[in-house]
Structure 1
Amino acid sequence: MTHSDFLKSLPSGRRAALTARYPGQGLWHLAGHMGAILGTGGAIAAAIPGWPLLLPVQGVLIVFLFTLQHECTHRTPFASDRLCDWVGATIGALILNPFTWFRYFHFAHHRHTNQPGDPELDSRKPETRAEWLWHVSGLPLWWGSARLIWRLATGREHPAYLPERVRARAGREARVLLAVYALAVLSLIWSDAVLWLWLIPVLLGQPFLRLYLLAEHGDCPRVSDMFANTRTTFTTAMVRFLAWNMPYHVEHHVMPNVPFDRLPALHRLMRDHLQVTAPGYLAFSRAYLARRR
């Protein structure tokens, strides 16, 4: 069965139940995620014994907000579209990923997943162990994000997937981000809070997000069937919480309008049809590296 066959077989009533948005689910999940960030940040700020060990934890908590921003592009995590857009834009400022641009980048990824036209394929996946280390470091990502924001701000970024009607808005957003980052740098003159609560943590946390994201489509066949070109990774409840259930990634690609909290239910319906899975992120990384020299 292909993903198209699965969708055709799904009764309309069940489809409606899966795509319904409930006001409280996303808000409670966001409260838990932000509570963890604030609690860890508070411990760092208070310089409790061993606080440097919390820096990568804080970084992981912050950079994995990307998975919520990703959901906000689909306007699924909250009942309010406006709240989805506001949260997505705020996260974009924290992780250098401008939200307006990312929405259209991501829509193109869904239209052409692992096929010609998928903008994710413009960034080549690591093919050697040395390339893997460079990729996982996160340094290419930060440099690419900085260049992207500058090009958007100066009106020089014109990808085919970014409609003309939104380019001015994307440029304004990028200029706001540049102003925010300039203020953050200036704040270092009188306080090192930004350095220890944000900048250093996200640098330390980004490698974990790189490893996570590589599993979504890395080494998947270049075919149009979502059951084959995308990977679901079986992992712990903690990782699923942190990643807003996006380890159920085949499920998300087959029905991107299903909110994060309904993905486990969707998984139960399609698990027998999944073609590409991994029994954890460590297992995926080992297998990925075993195919490379």
Structure 2
Amino acid sequence: MGRPADGAAGCDARTSMDAVAIREVRNAIRGEIRGRLFTLKVLVCALITAAGCWLALQSQLSLRLCGVLLIGLMFAHAAELQHETLHGLAYRGRRANRVVGVLLGLPMLISYTAYRVAHMRHHRDLGTPGNREFFDYGDQYGAGDGGSRIGTALTWFARFTMAYHYWQFGVGVGKALRGSNFDGESAVNTRRIRVEHLLAVAALVAAAVLSVVFASPAVLWLWVLPMVVVAAPMHALIELPEHFRCETLDRSPFANTRTIKSNWLLTWYTNGNNFHVEHHLMPNLPIERLPDLHVEVRDRLRHYHPGYFAYFRSFIGSK
């Protein structure tokens, strides 16, 4: 067998060097993952949730409502923390990411594995007709605006109640109970999705049984009302700006995604989700590094707002 041509040899060498460089970058990024920091985030979320639970169990209605609000806000925040585990950015180990990710998604009945595989496909397919997201809001990106008032109202009602998500959860529970496959998923992922749905059902049943045994509506105040009345619309609001009315058939993250430069409080609450262009540019970049990337790319941003209030002000004004 003859020697390869110089061009081929050079190409092979460059490919090898690129592979080494990519591996070095990946290892450097993995080295930046700080599990203690993420654990602190989870503890803060848990402590605020506990405070909300205490308020929701008081006899005074105003305190109960404040508790429901606080719990619901933390349920939605937990879903944003779960997003970090999907990318393996919370901890260095896969098992730790999955275990904590499953627990973070439980309050809103989010299957960690189903969310993870759908989310990875979203990163792969955004900018193509094949793009789909785990949370389906119907008129996902605003392409259907301009319909009848009733149709538009129903679309927004479905979005802010996350009705389709909870319907899909029910469908998933049915499949899990029957031992059916989840379409398009591997045997391993199917098994994990099944277990996660059954775990959520077990938690719901246990909470309901305890409420009956102690003749207490605690499950309503501590879980159902916060999830439905607060967490669902808040999660929908967090996700709305990501790609809504962007060029979602353009492969460039600068065209198909939006960034919002928010204050520290909302950046914490959304867990860096406001830097969404940056996240799609480098999905494996630790969340805490997204502001650094923002500095490098901000002059190229097409869809940018200086804050969430500015975004929603322009959004309402364009209706």
TM-score tier by shorter-chain length is: 0.7 to 0.9
Q: Does 1:143 align with 2:167?
A: yes
**Which AA in structure 2 matches 1:100?**
T
After superposition, where does 1:208-223 map in structure 2 within 5 Å? 208-221=234-247, 222-223=249-250
In structure 2, relative to structure 1, the CA distance for the partners of 1:281 and 1:154 (3 Å cut) is farther
Once structures 1 and 2 are overlaid, which stretch shifts more, 22-31 or 108-117?
A: 22-31
**Which AA in structure 2 matches 1:60?**
L
Report which of the two structures shows the higher radius of gyration computed on alpha carbons. Answer: 2
- Is the Cα–Cα contact under 8 Å of residues 127 and 252 in structure 2 kept in the other structure? no
Instruction: Give the CA deviation at 1:172.
Output: 2.6
Which of 1 and 2 has higher RCO (CA within 8 Å, sep 6+)? 1
Q: Distance in 1 between matches of 2:222 and 2:26?
A: 42
Output the TM-score relative to the length of structure 2: 0.78
Compute the RMSD of aligned alpha carbons: 2.6
Output the TM-score relative to the length of structure 1: 0.85
Deviations 1:242-282 (A, max 9, x none): 11111111111111111222222222222222221223334
Instruction: Give the CA deviation at 1:195.
Output: 1.6
Once structures 1 and 2 are overlaid, which stretch shifts more, 44-53 or 210-219?
A: 44-53
**Which AA in structure 2 matches 1:270?**
V
Q: Which residue of 2 aligns with 1:174?
A: 197
Instruction: Give the CA deviation at 1:148.
Output: 3.1
- Is the Cα–Cα contact under 8 Å of residues 25 and 78 in structure 1 kept in the other structure? no
After superposition, where does 1:96-135 map in structure 2 within 5 Å? 96-120=109-133, 123-125=138-140, 127-128=144-145, 129-130=152-153, 131-135=155-159
Deviations 1:230-252 (A, max 9, x none): 11112221111111111111111
Match of 1:280 among 307, 310, 318: 307
After superposition, where does 1:20-99 map in structure 2 within 5 Å? 20-47=32-59, 50-51=62-63, 52-99=65-112
- Is the Cα–Cα contact under 8 Å of residues 65 and 243 in structure 1 kept in the other structure? no
Deviations 1:192-213 (A, max 9, x none): 2222112111112221211110
**Which AA in structure 2 matches 1:110?**
H
Q: Which residue of 2 aligns with 1:4?
A: none
Q: Percent identity?
A: 26
- Is the Cα–Cα contact under 8 Å of residues 211 and 281 in structure 1 kept in the other structure? no
Instruction: Give the CA deviation at 1:95.
Output: 1.0
Q: Distance in 2 between matches of 1:159 and 1:280?
A: 39
In structure 2, relative to structure 1, the CA distance for the partners of 1:153 and 1:259 (3 Å cut) is farther
Q: Distance in 2 between matches of 1:112 and 1:43?
A: 43
Gaps of 5+ in 1: 1-7
In structure 2, relative to structure 1, the CA distance for the partners of 1:132 and 1:283 (3 Å cut) is farther
Query: How many residues matched?
Result: 282
